[in-house]
Amino acid sequence: MPIKVLIADDHSVVRKGILNLLEDESDIEIVGEASDGDEAIDLIPVTHPDVLLLDITMPRMSGIEVAREASRLYPEVRILVFSMHNNPDYILNAVQSGAAGYLLKDTDQEEILKAVRAVAAGELYYPPNASSVIIRNLVVPKNAYRQTETGIGTSTASIWNKITPREYQILQCLTEGMSSKEIAERFDVSPHTVANQRASIIRKARVKNTAELVSIALREQA
């Protein structure tokens, strides 16, 4: 079955451009277009998308608000943010609101297609520009703040201390935005094995999905 994509952007030219990029792909189907945040939320139960391709700056409801609401109401829908903003606040808010990926609008067609397919398959997709922002602004500052505020370290409660050495390697790769296929190739194992190990880590972290796992792992990473 094709990957069903719902496009949410307040600029019709952008929506048309995305449509032109995706419509000729045999494994992708555009099921709807939304011009604002409210319309995006309303269209999800009607169109049943696998992926919500979402702009951040929209009228009525921002993309961040849409991501947060969609994650709560429709956790099966994967959210891929497609934004002109390379601002760390936007990227971090998108991650914390449930986005499985973040692309800039100057991204080329090949990477857009790769990102859509990756998040539809349950992976995270954060290219280097977004990953570096997450690590630089989320990991170190929050780790330091927590230790300063409590007066103690948090290593005993960290997910990094609850997993096996191989799971540690898998989690490190996930925080770098690698797909299951890429991780499997790195360690010469099958994608199925990687998926099982990821599921084990998710259970140990007591979270619902990979996006939540990576968010926690990045905050707790030393």
Amino acid at 18: I
Q: Give the predicted TM-score (pTM) of the model.
A: 0.63
Q: How confident is the model at residue 148 (pLDDT cuts 50, 70, 90)?
A: very low
Q: How confident is the model at residue 99 (pLDDT cuts 50, 70, 90)?
A: very high
| Strand, coil or helix: 194 | helix
Helices of type H across the chain: 12-22, 37-47, 63-73, 88-96, 109-120, 128-134, 140-150, 165-175, 180-187, 191-205, 210-220
Render pLDDT for 152-164 as a digit per residue (tens, 0 to 9): 444 446 888 888 8
pLDDT at 22: 92
Q: How far apart are CA 43 and CA 40, in angstroms?
A: 5
CA distances from residue 123 to 136, 146, 161 in whole angstroms, order as listed: 22, 29, 23
User: Domains in the chain, ordered, with CATH?
Assistant: 3-125 (3.40.50.2300), 130-220 (1.10.10.10)
Question: For all residues of the chain together, what is the average pLDDT?
Answer: 84
pLDDT at 132: 64
Determine which helix (DSSP H) or strand (DSSP E) holds 7, and give its type and residue range.
strand 3-8
Render pLDDT for 1-28 as a digit per residue (tens, 0 to 9): 899 999 999 999 999 999 999 988 999 9
